Amino acid sequence: MPELRPLASLMLSTLLLASSPSLNAQAAPPLNYLKFDVDSLLVPASERCRISPREPDLPYALAACEQAASGGDPKAQFLLGNLYYEGVVIPRDTQQAMLWFQRASLQGHAQAQYQIAFMLYRGEGTAPNLVEAYIMMKMSAVNGFDEAISAMDLFAEELSEEQKLQAFYTLSRIFKNYRASLATSPDTQVPLDPADPSGLLDD
């Protein structure tokens, strides 16, 4: 059976690529992977990014994390984004955090979408944009991150009527595009029922 394709992987590419040209930028190459021993590469990709500030070989650990994230693992991408965002293990860099959260988001990582929404709301690593923040928070909720539901409602309270119309129009296009993609890929498993997207657009 084909792997479930998250809703966000089909619907957020255009939004993210349009708003964040840095997404296509290549990340700085990690350290020389040839130094890694075989055992380290057997560690699951996401676990390579669970790094403590007391890590005895921090450059080695960061290189392993970057390798996992660059290889496309969404959990590793999210955790690497958190390392840059929190600034505890490595110096804080909100632009790098945004880049890695976006890469995870495009694979349907709901918690990464939640983080992006707040960064858009606060203007961290990007220009503040309440409409895009609301859309991203909505997608985080749709993709299963429960904490996004209450945050989404708080964001909605700050939207003007014009901004609500803009957000709802964008969301309706996203869901129409998603439905169209399902029609052309009948074997794709549906992670949620988008048959009536109007219910998802109510604030």
pLDDT in tens, 162-200: 999 999 999 998 888 877 777 776 565 544 333 333 333
Report residue 84's pLDDT band, with 50, 70 and 90 as the boundaries: very high
CB of 100 within 8 A of CB of 84? yes
* Mean pLDDT on 6-32: 48
Whether residue 144 is predicted with pLDDT greater than 80 in this model: the reply is: yes
Whether residue 7 is predicted with pLDDT greater than 80 in this model: the reply is: no
Chain mean pLDDT for the chain:
78
CB of 17 within 8 A of CB of 23? yes
- pTM for the model stands at 0.73
Task: Return the pLDDT at 186.
Answer: 59
